[in-house]
Chains A and B, each alone.
Chain A
Amino acid sequence: MPTESARRKRPSMVAMTAKITAVAVAAAIALTGGLAIQMAAGQDPALASKGKHQAPAGGSSSGQASGGQTNSAPAQVVTRTS
């Protein structure tokens, strides 16, 4: 049988749950915050391994016009033989 003093030192179930929840919340905030910072910088982590630049959004087919909003950072431009 544990003594009375040993029983007092053991953390309660409520305290353990609170600690685990706090750690999980902190990890989730760090992860999503990091992703948000990378996305805001124009670096989509999901695309990081692609070798070629991504086709910009809102492409047009021949003879047509199109438009839209880009990200808040200045959009990338591509120079090529035309």
Chain B
Amino acid sequence: MTSVRPPGASELERRIDLFGTEVRILVGAPTPRRAPGNQVAVVAVEQLLRRHHALLTRFDCDSELSRLNADPREEVPTSAILAGALRAALNAAELTDGLVDPGLLGQLERAGYGSSRVGVAPADLREALLQAPPRCPARRRQGADWQAVEIGEGFVRRPPGMRFDLGGSAKGHAADSAAACLRGYDSFAVDVGGDIVVGGNAGVPRVVVVEHPLGHHDLSFRLGRGAIATSGLARRIWRTPNGFAHHLIDPSTGVSAWTGVVQATAVAPTAVEAEALAKAALLSGPEAGVRVLERGGGVLVLDNGTVRLAGPAAQAVRSAA
């Protein structure tokens, strides 16, 4: 049985811009005799996240990920952080049966996402939905390159020419890694652009708000321990000569997926899993998407703004109004 202690000292909060998004670190009081003060933890977590970002961004040609993607060799040495992020991406692909595919960088660039969109205003989602093609669920690629990737002690071996986009799984992996440093504290939350891990030894549930992408009422629920992630079209969407595109690619077609779902939120034990399930739920469309979220719970927002709840979240979620 989980013990619940009243919260003690207030949480220390730190906000930074990383991974092309806002990162928020919250750390409560150290559990007696288990950890140093929370000021130390916040600094350590910030440094860890900055290290992850520096190594894993594809928008810096000197990052380790960019150097891997440019390396013509089949087998390339990797740091522990890159190896961990690659494993997380492969786990996400396996968990979603290939719907979340880390080998779609070329398709993403051809869709118009070749450079960072930080500071670039997104296109209007409602307008994009009006002009989008008929909705259909995304499907996995047959014989995708990720299935042939091998990660060993200090190296990765992948098909020649394969390039990785770690995107959401890198954020999830960073949030999970940071959370692992905070096991000695009464409460904590690591929020990497909406991919969030919460926990703490005091066992006090935290309010989690799910922002509605079309401006309807937000939803909220309480979570004491676990991860939440949201994937959606609203922020990384842009105009193209032929209409609109966004960053969630249908692996089977190589172009942006218009499935009838504009946002999916998933609850799971880890941020990597939550991120993968949220993306897979969005790519699966309204019907199959609910089934993807059934186990841990989650929220789908459809093109018309309708909200569908899945799994345990269906009982816990309420309007944040």
**Residues in A lying within 8 Å of B, measured CB to CB:** 42, 51-53, 56, 58-60, 62-82
Contacts and interface: CB of A to CB of B under 8 A. Distances in A.
Which 10 pairs of residues, A with B, have the shortest CB-CB distance?
Answer: A81-B232, A82-B193, A80-B211, A74-B206, A67-B14, A76-B207, A65-B16, A82-B21, A60-B15, A79-B230
B40 interface: no
B17 A64 contact: yes
B13 A53 contact: no
A6 to B, nearest CB: 57
Given A74-B206, A81-B194, A65 B14 contact: yes
Contact of B229 (A58, A63, A68, A79): A79
A57 to B, nearest CB: 8
Nearest to A50: B321
Contact of B194 (A58, A63, A64, A82): A82
Contacts of B193: 82
A77 B11 contact: no
Given A51-B321, A75-B189, A67 B15 contact: yes
A63 B17 CA distance: 6
Given A52-B218, A72-B8, A74-B206, A81 B15 contact: no
Contacts of B24: 56, 77
Interface in B264-300: 265
Interface residues of B, number: 56
Interface string B214-239: 00011010000000111111111000
Interface-central residue, B211, B220, B232, by most chain A CB under 10 Å: B211
B235 A74 contact: no
Given A59-B15, A81-B194, A72 B320 contact: no
Given A68-B13, A72-B9, A75-B11, A81 B230 contact: yes
Given A42-B207, A52-B321, A56-B13, 12 more contacts: A53-B220, A59-B15, A60-B22, A72-B7, A73-B204, A74-B205, A76-B220, A79-B208, A79-B211, A81-B231, A82-B194, A82-B230
Contact of B15 (A53, A58, A73): A58
A58 B13 CA distance: 8
B200 interface: yes
Interface in B89-123: 118-119
Contact of B265 (A65, A72, A73, A79): A79
